[in-house]
Amino acid sequence: MDTPVFAGDLTKIYSEGKVEVKAVSSVGLELHEGEMVGLFGPSGSGKTTLLSLIGCILRPTSGFLKLYGIETNSLGEAALPGIRKKFISFIFQGFNLFPALTALENVMLVLKLKGVEDNAEQKAKEMLDSVGLADRMHFLPRDLSGGEKQRVAIARSLAADSPIILADEPTGNLDQGNGRKVMELLKQLATERKKCIFAATHDNRVEGIFDRILYMEDGMIIREKGGHA
Ligand SMILES: Nc1ncnc2c1ncn2[C@@H]1O[C@H](COP(=O)(O)OP(=O)(O)OP(=O)(O)O)[C@@H](O)[C@H]1O
Ligand SMILES: [Mg+2]
């Protein structure tokens, strides 16, 4: 049995003055290489909070979190950016591209941050080519469609080459055709490159593409469909 890329049991309570919100409540979860897992649930059910915990953007109120068997709870804040860089990349609904950089520069930036100096431009071009954007490399984000921007974000995940890709509503701003294309590219990363894709979505149209689906309500996983063999 392979070591899960992620294993944890997570609780997150937000405190706003006197009000406490239990956004994620004892969610036990394992994620494996090569699987594409969907996280469905109504607004406010805790999906973004759970992704942020797995991605070490938020710290859990209690519980534990292991990435490739490494327990991260005991690590100090200073270690978290390094952990994130090594294990995690994010794809958001809002595309999170640098507006002043072209598609190519956005991808190259990630390679440079990873310390890839050799042939960074060539590698970035190949990544954009693989998501079907060979003819859009020198466009700024503002001149790309929503689907194209999301594909640049996927090319950046390719550049980051992290084992876990966390996607929060990746098709949220896209029409059906572009939404499907984006999900198929993510699926390809899971099957061909053994990435673990964990995607929160409201989008029932893409349900069929997941290997496994978790349904979340009131901070808890209430149901699961599919499963890891
Ligand atoms: N920073 C915060 N401080 C206090 N409460 C928060 C904070 N972020 C989220 N919450 C609360 O935690 C709960 C879960 O929010 P979360 O954003 O994780 O839900 P979600 O499932 O991603 O919703 P959506 O589908 O609308 O994106 C909500 O009740 C929300 O109001
Ligand atoms: Mg959300």
- Kindly report, residue by residue over 154-167, the tens digit of the pLDDT: 898 888 889 999 99
**Quick one: pLDDT at residue 164?**
95
**Quick one: pLDDT at residue 23?**
97
- Angstrom distance (rounded) from CA 75 to CA 66: 11
SS3 of residue 90 by DSSP: strand
- Kindly report, residue by residue over 107-163, the tens digit of the pLDDT: 998 888 877 778 889 999 998 998 889 999 999 999 998 888 888 988 988 888 899
Q: Is the pLDDT of residue 1 over 80?
A: no
- Kindly report, residue by residue over 6-30, the tens digit of the pLDDT: 999 999 999 988 899 999 999 999 9
- Which fold does the domain 33-57+77-226 belong to in CATH? Rossmann fold (3.40.50)
What's the gap in Å between 168 CA and the centre of ligand 1?
Answer: 13
Query: Which atom of ligand 1 is least distant from the CA of 46?
Result: 18
In this prediction, residues 203-220 reach a mean pLDDT of 93
4 DSSP 8-state letter: P
Determine the distance from the C-alpha atom of residue 189 to the mean position of all C-alpha atoms in its chain, rounded to a whole number.
12
- Angstrom distance (rounded) from CA 198 to CA 200: 7
Top mutation candidate among 48, 53, 57, 221 for ligand 1, by most atoms within 8 Å of CB: 48
Q: Is 104 in the pocket of ligand 1 (CB under 6 A)?
A: no
Q: Which residues contact 89 (CB under 8 A, 6 or more apart)?
A: 156, 157, 160, 162, 164, 165, 166
* Domain edges within the chain: 33-57+77-226
Q: Is the pLDDT of residue 77 over 90?
A: no
Q: Is 98 in the pocket of ligand 1 (CB under 6 A)?
A: no
Top mutation candidate among 11, 13, 14, 25 for ligand 1, by most atoms within 8 Å of CB: 14
- Angstrom distance (rounded) from CA 12 to CA 56: 12
Q: Is the pLDDT of residue 189 over 70?
A: yes
Q: What's the whole-number average pLDDT of the chain? A: 90
Q: Is 48 in the pocket of ligand 1 (CB under 6 A)?
A: yes
For residue 45, the ligand closest to its alpha carbon is 1
Q: Is 128 exposed, middle or buried (0-12, 13-18, 19+ CB in 10 A)?
A: buried
**Quick one: pLDDT at residue 119?**
87
Q: Is the pLDDT of residue 192 over 50?
A: yes
In this prediction, residues 174-190 reach a mean pLDDT of 87
Q: Is 220 in the pocket of ligand 1 (CB under 6 A)?
A: no
- Angstrom distance (rounded) from CA 28 to CA 25: 9
Q: How confident is the model at residue 95 (pLDDT cuts 50, 70, 90)?
A: low
Confidence (pTM): 0.90
**Quick one: pLDDT at residue 206?**
87
**Quick one: pLDDT at residue 170?**
85
- pLDDT over 90 for what percent of the chain? 57
Q: Is 23 in the pocket of ligand 1 (CB under 6 A)?
A: yes
Contact 27, 221 (CB under 8 A): yes
**Quick one: pLDDT at residue 94?**
65
Q: How confident is the model at residue 228 (pLDDT cuts 50, 70, 90)?
A: low
**Quick one: pLDDT at residue 229?**
47
